[in-house]
Amino acid sequence: MTLNITEDIRSITELKRDTSAILNQLHTTGRPVVLTVNGKAEAVIMGAVEYEKNTRALNLLKLLLPAEQDVREGLVQEAKSFFEEFRRARNI
C-alpha cells in the first residue's frame, strides 16, 4: 500500500466538494488518502476493508511480540525435546 503523492494527497476542501470521488478512489486503489489543511497533512482516511486488514495484521503482530522476545532472550526449545517433555508430563 504505497502512497502515490500525485493522487493520494487531497485537501479537505476537495473532500467536501467531491466526497464520492475520493471514496471511490479509496475503494478502487486500496490506498489511504492524506487530507491537508492549508497545505499541511491533517488526517489520513482509508477504506473500511483496508482498515480491517491493517487492524488484523497489527493484532497478529502484537500476539507475536512475546514470542519474538523469548527468541531474543534465548528462551527457546527444539520441537523434538518439547514434544517429548509434553508427552512425558501427560503420560501420552
Average model confidence (pLDDT) for the chain?
95
> Tens digit of pLDDT for each residue in 17-36?
999 999 999 999 999 999 99
Amino acid at 26: L
Mean pLDDT of 58-77: 94
- With CA atoms as reference, report the closest residue to 43 among 77, 10, 90: 10
Q: What is the pLDDT of residue 57?
A: 97
- The whole-angstrom separation of Cα 46 and Cα 74 is 39
Q: What is the pLDDT of residue 92?
A: 87
Residue-level length of the chain:
92
Q: Taking the model in full, what pTM does it have?
A: 0.70
- The whole-angstrom separation of Cα 86 and Cα 90 is 6
